[in-house]
Amino acid sequence: TAVMEKILLRRSSLLRDQQQAWQESLEGREMLEFRQNLPAYKEKDTILIAILQNQVVIISGETGCGKTTQIPQFILESEIDSARGAFCSIICTQPRRISAISVSERVASERGEKLGESVGYKVRLEGIKGRDTRLLFCTTGILLRRLLVDRNLKGVTHVIVDEIHERGMNEDFLLIVLKDLLPRRPELKLILMSATLDAELFSSYFDGAPLIHIPDALRAADFKDFSRQTQESLSCWNPDCIGFNLIEYLLSYICENERPGAVLVFMTGWDDISSLKDKLQAHPILGDPSRVLLLTCHGSMASSEQKLIFEEPEDGVRKIVLTTNIAETSITINDVVFVLDCGKAKETSYDALNNTPCLLPSWVSKVSTQQRRGRAGRVQPGECHHLYPRCVYDAFTEYQLPEILRTPLQSLCLQIKSLKLGSISEFLSRALQSPKLLAVQNAIEYLKVIGALDENENLTVLGRYLTMLPMEPKLGKMLILGAILNCLDPVLTIVAGLSVRDPFLTPLDKKDLAEAAKLQFSHDHSDHLALVRAYEGWKEAEKDLAGYDYCWKNFLSAQSMKAIDSLREEFLSLLKDTGLIDSYATSCNGWSYDQHLSRAVICYGLYPGICSVVHNEKSFSLKTMEDGPVLLYSNSVNARESRIPYPWLVFNEKIKVNSVFLRDSTAVSDSVLLLFGGSISRGDVDGHLKMLGGYLEFFMQPAIAEKYLSLRREFDELIQN
Ligand code: ADP
Ligand code: MG
């Protein structure tokens, strides 16, 4: 270790020389000047002293004041200045991968370096990090995974948790874990950063940790707000459809009449963004690439795509960025002058009583509105158009409910178990704001039913595999079984399809045509298999570069198809990481053409999402055990049928609107449900198979039964060992 110490001291002084050389260069001086003008820079000493004197420090400051890019750098630079740069290891978490990447690039360039020198990033399946990387930006999920193998974060000197005001589930979870860790690692520093002022909650959670607020040096005067109050705007405000016409009108007005400057349009979600984009592309001005650079910004975009957002367009071209709430706080686009705010965001909520998740566009909070507005006029006077009337704004809540209180907790519970954090409910009772007991119980019960936890709440072998796949357990289950049963190809498509927005578009004015188009892909009473066909058709068409036409003709979203394509790759490499398939993935597709097998995999994943089909003379009705009668979404292929030749539907999601609606369903037989629904308690595989065997003779032809039975046996052996 004495040798190590020496090496590190040498590297530290190299780092210091490097930093000094950069700050003395012309570019370096300009960059430093830019940084020194940020409000955060003025608080540099206060911040560093507070960190020195306290184990936990909480810092708040308006978006754009320089928290994310500067504060980690202050720490790094002060370590380097004290000639101990090579001894520190700073981790800064971001809620989203896109911000981790873009921020690390920015910080590296502020330091006159390439990524992978002293600054790096790591997100799922991607990262740049070198031997000398001392400041690492990563997603919250990555840090949680590191804690899995490195409980004490050995060697880490500073953890910075950014964007805590968003109150994402991962961040709330991480804070409980870190709070437990602090006494075990007294020299570890924890810094929390928030874009809003309500940081007292965090301070009291961390035993009165000091709060530092970075005062807002930004303009307020050169700022115009427009509320849409007219009757005409109200009438576009059909709750299901944002005022597309109004947005189109405003955008073309800005393009024709206003001074230069980028426009940022906050939309509800992915689906709205892509439909609006299609609409705008057909517009004579907005769709003209020589006048308008039309970009989109959302969480699942590729990193090459996101770079475009920060670039300045050519002279005479106006940049318009359609974004989800992701650009609200974590991404800063400098040249924005105009903001259009639709006032809504897709928000998941969770009805614990009925154990039903809801995903509905809902009005954002007042704080979000201010954040959105603040994105305009960063470098010159700005304008914000709120596309909703004042009276609607007045009814907004102050803050959004934290995610942990409004989403199902299954994945979180699995994570708690995999980190060996003891009893789930005891652990969650120590959260910043604890979820309802009922919600916790529901999640545990679900995990038991699907076989991820045993009766004593311990992870089963299946559960352990599921923790290696960062996705909803039901999707993880499908991937695992698809890999084991050698029918991975369609399963990858299905799982990817369930992870993106519905690729089957149903424009309101062409609903019938769109539904008819989907029906062409219908395949034996399954929305999931219809998707597989649609995707395969698209893949064929892409070979002739006709993918876009294909989507247009068939009412499919080209963006979703592309997203499915890249997610398939991502999921495949995740599976390789689990060791369930070999790294060449040569042998996992032998049965991919067997649609019955795909059906079995779907059933295995979606159980206990099942409902029974009851036929009457003309049609059929559906019932689930918990809800009684339920309905299908009208764009389900099963909704167009008058008979379904199977007694059950497994479904992906039920959503309560007025009645309970099922989204994406696949019909399955008794035998498939028997074999692939439910779980087998560990150690009693034989008993279970015997019992199923008895049923099988009853339901199935012996030859088929034999095949499934042997597959199941093989599967159970594999999964148990
Ligand atoms: P905060 O975290 O407080 O919201 P940031 O540290 O992200 O603020 O950004 C501080 C400033 O750095 C921004 O106001 C912007 O001017 C500049 N900046 C950040 N990211 C980039 C980038 N990718 N390209 C150019 N400038 C950037
Ligand atoms: Mg930030």
Ligand in nearest proximity to the CA of 307: 1
Task: Say whether pLDDT at 609 is over 80.
Answer: yes
Which residue's CA is the closest to the ligand 1 atom numbered 23?
106
Task: Say whether pLDDT at 683 is over 70.
Answer: no
Structure-block tokens of residue 529: 């298999």
Q: Can you tell me which atom of ligand 1 is nearest the CA of 69?
A: 6
pLDDT reported for residue 6: 92
Percent of the chain with pLDDT over 70: 87
pLDDT reported for residue 164: 93
Picking from 169, 380, 368, the residue whose alpha carbon sits closest to that of residue 266 is 368
Classified as helix, coil or strand, 253 is helix
Percent of the chain with pLDDT over 90: 46
Mean pLDDT of 226-246: 52
**Ligand 1: which of 303, 334, 372 to mutate, most ligand atoms within 8 Å of CB?**
334
Which residue's CA is the closest to the ligand 1 atom numbered 19?
332
pLDDT digit string, tens, across residues 438-491: 999 999 999 988 888 988 999 988 888 898 888 889 999 999 888 888 889 999
Q: How far apart are CA 464 and CA 605, in angstroms?
A: 16
Q: How far apart are CA 590 and CA 595, in angstroms?
A: 12
Band of pLDDT at residue 574, cut at 50, 70 and 90: confident
- Using the mean position of ligand 2's atoms as its centre, give its distance from the Cα of residue 332 in Å: 8
Amino acid at 700: M
Q: How far apart are CA 204 and CA 198, in angstroms?
A: 11
ipTM for this prediction? 0.99
DSSP state of 688: H
Q: Can you tell me which atom of ligand 1 is nearest the CA of 62?
A: 3
Long-range residue pairs from 689-698, CB within 8 A, at least 24 positions apart, any chain: 689/713, 689/716, 695/670, 695/671, 696/671
Q: How far apart are CA 260 and CA 283, in angstroms?
A: 20
Task: Say whether pLDDT at 226 is over 70.
Answer: no
- Using the mean position of ligand 2's atoms as its centre, give its distance from the Cα of residue 234 in Å: 34
Which residue has 């019909």 as its token pair?
667
pLDDT reported for residue 302: 60
pLDDT reported for residue 90: 98
Choice among 57-71, 230-244, 430-444, 672-686 with the minimum mean pLDDT: 230-244
pLDDT digit string, tens, across residues 644-665: 988 889 998 888 777 888 989 9
Ligand in nearest proximity to the CA of 64: 1
**More confident of the two residues 541 and 721:** 541
Q: Can you tell me which atom of ligand 1 is nearest the CA of 63?
A: 4
Is 122 within 8 Å of 145 (Cβ atoms)? no
Band of pLDDT at residue 173, cut at 50, 70 and 90: very high
Choice among 200-204, 250-254, 409-413, 692-696 with the minimum mean pLDDT: 692-696
Average pLDDT, the chain: 85
Mean pLDDT of 429-444: 93
pLDDT reported for residue 231: 37
Q: Can you tell me which atom of ligand 1 is nearest the CA of 40?
A: 3
- Using the mean position of ligand 2's atoms as its centre, give its distance from the Cα of residue 176 in Å: 22
pLDDT reported for residue 658: 73
pLDDT reported for residue 695: 45
Ligand 1: residues within 6 Å at CB?
A: 38, 61, 63-70, 102, 106, 310, 332, 334
pLDDT reported for residue 234: 40
pLDDT digit string, tens, across residues 381-390: 788 888 887 7
Is 171 within 8 Å of 163 (Cβ atoms)? yes
What Cα–Cα distance (Å) separates residue 548 from each residue in 125, 469, 527, 561, 562?
28, 31, 22, 10, 10
Task: Say whether pLDDT at 60 is over 70.
Answer: yes
Quick one: three-class SS letters along 464-488? HHHHCCCCCHHHHHHHHHHHHCCCH
Q: For the residues of 518-582, what is the DSSP string, one character each?
A: HHHH--SSBHHHHHHHHHHHHHHHHHTT-HHHHHHHHTB-HHHHHHHHHHHHHHHHHHHHHTSS-
| Integer-rounded Cα radius of gyration of the chain | 27
pLDDT reported for residue 353: 63
Peptide bond into 608 cis (omega under 30): yes
Q: Which residues contact 284 (CB under 8 A, 6 or more apart)?
A: none
Q: How far apart are CA 610 and CA 625, in angstroms?
A: 8
pLDDT reported for residue 660: 87
Q: How far apart are CA 542 and CA 709, in angstroms?
A: 39
pLDDT digit string, tens, across residues 92-126: 999 988 889 989 999 999 999 999 999 999 997 78
End-to-end CA distance of the chain: 40
pLDDT reported for residue 376: 81
Ligand in nearest proximity to the CA of 163: 2
**Ligand 1: which of 332, 378, 380 to mutate, most ligand atoms within 8 Å of CB?**
332
Q: Can you tell me which atom of ligand 1 is nearest the CA of 329?
A: 4
Which helix (H) or strand (E) segment is 236 a member of? helix 231-236
**More confident of the two residues 186 and 302:** 186
**More confident of the two residues 701 and 317:** 317
Q: For 311-352, where are the alpha helices, taking DSSP H only?
A: 326-329
pLDDT reported for residue 157: 97
Choice among 169-178, 305-314, 694-703 with the minimum mean pLDDT: 694-703
pLDDT digit string, tens, across residues 303-330: 666 778 888 889 889 999 999 888 887 7
Q: Can you tell me which atom of ligand 1 is nearest the CA of 331?
A: 7
Choice among 100-114, 215-229, 279-293 with the minimum mean pLDDT: 215-229
Angle, in degrees to the nearest 10, between helices 410-418 and 437-449: 80
Task: Say whether pLDDT at 633 is over 70.
Answer: yes
Q: How far apart are CA 27 and CA 441, in angstroms?
A: 57
Which residue's CA is the closest to the ligand 1 atom numbered 14?
64
- Using the mean position of ligand 2's atoms as its centre, give its distance from the Cα of residue 329 in Å: 6
